[in-house]
Amino acid sequence: MEVIGLVEKMQQASENLRLSGKALALVPTMGFFHEGHLELMRVAKKHADIVVVSIFVNPTQFGPKEDLNTYPRDLEGDLFKAENVGVDLAFVPAVHDMYPDRFQTTVSVQKATKHLCGLSRPAHFDGVTTVVAKLFNIIKPHIAVFGQKDFQQLVVVTRMVQDLNMDVRIVGVPTVREPDGLAMSSRNSFLNPLERESALCLKKSLDLARNLVARGEFQASILIKGVKEMILSSPFTEIDYVNLCDPVSMENVQKVEGETLLALAVRVGKTRLIDNCLLSAKLLRRI
């Protein structure tokens, strides 16, 4: 696996690969790899000749009081894992190369960012879309792979690609979970053993909502109440949001009709975790 640090070198390498007729897939990440990241790389391999993984803890998507400085990092371990799953090229740029002096351009998706995580993290998605647009321009991938664990991010990036006619196909990958159900996340490493146990309430509350829908409960207010009660009955939890929304616009819905996204963000101790699942009244009624 080749490791490239400089933007200019990466651009040249991608250009050469494209000219030689290779299909390129990009997996953008912030590193500290777990099985969720590795699954994205495996999916990328199925779709392309060459898999590029970017590892960049992007400062512009963190708020001033967020965990940029403590965000977990393990570059050596990441490169080892990526090589093991067959990644061809790792792009590991420095912050000053991605954001040189006088940098002043932002890519901003207007509406889908104004809900869920966008409310408690106001500059977050502008940071995400700007860095993803930059990565697309540097790496020029034919496809890019994102996890459904960050469902709103997947929606926002898809919107950006459509709105700006970027020639990249976005592929979404289902959330990879620990055996006990906790969605894998680099931030899980912040949880102490008691918090780790308590964090299971996120997945359990999604399952509760699924069961309620399967029994014919479609009212958002009732489903949200049940989910919140389950989360708050676990220790160390503080709810940021529990929302039922349209999985394209991200706007809240009153009832589960067709496909509906149940999304939640919960602080467990000091660690903010997110999770989600799709609910569908139609599908479940047929069961």
Residue nearest to ligand AMP (CB): 147
Provide the minimum distance between the beta carbon of 101 and ligand AMP in the complex, in angstroms, as a whole number: 26
- 115 catalytic? Reply is no
Provide the minimum distance between the beta carbon of 174 and ligand AMP in the complex, in angstroms, as a whole number: 7
Query: β-pairing, 259-268 with 2-4?
Result: unpaired
Give the chain's length: 287
Provide the minimum distance between the beta carbon of 285 and ligand AMP in the complex, in angstroms, as a whole number: 28
Residue number, 154 or 220, with CB nearest to ligand AMP: 154
Residue among 34, 37, 47, 96 flagged as catalytic: 37
Residue number, 133 or 184, with CB nearest to ligand AMP: 184
Residue number, 68 or 284, with CB nearest to ligand AMP: 68
Which residues would be at the binding site for ligand AMP (CB under 6 A)? 29-30, 36-37, 39-40, 146-147, 149-150, 173, 175-176, 183-186
Residue number, 62 or 146, with CB nearest to ligand AMP: 146
Provide the minimum distance between the beta carbon of 68 and ligand AMP in the complex, in angstroms, as a whole number: 13
Catalytic residues: 37
